[in-house]
Amino acid sequence: MPAALLDTSIDRINAVDLLDELVPILRKVPETGSRIYQRPATIFNAAVIDGLRPDNPATGRAGHSARPSQ
């Protein structure tokens, strides 16, 4: 999870928050950014499964993981 979002409740993080943190990394170091992106996507998928959120803000879909375009 990006450091800037660590203290934010999982149900309050939205796609814009994630993009603000991850796009600069993806543009600068695509391979590292891709690996970093996978972590919050997995966390949000688990939150959907556990009923903590209705959707995955990393993908915009319920329980689905996909990498944003660079």
**How confident is the model over 17-25, as a mean pLDDT?**
88
- 62, 55 Cβ separation under 8 angstroms: yes
Q: How confident is the model at residue 53 (pLDDT cuts 50, 70, 90)?
A: very high
Q: Does any domain span residue 33?
A: yes
Give the global pTM. Answer: 0.72
Report yes or no on 20 lying in a domain. yes
Alpha-carbon distance 42 to 23, whole Å?
17
Arithmetic mean of pLDDT over the chain: 82
Tell whether 59 is covered by a domain. no
Furthest CA-CA distance within the chain: 34
Report how many domains make up the chain.
1
Look at residue 69 and tell me if it is in a domain.
no
Domain ranges, residue 18: 3-49
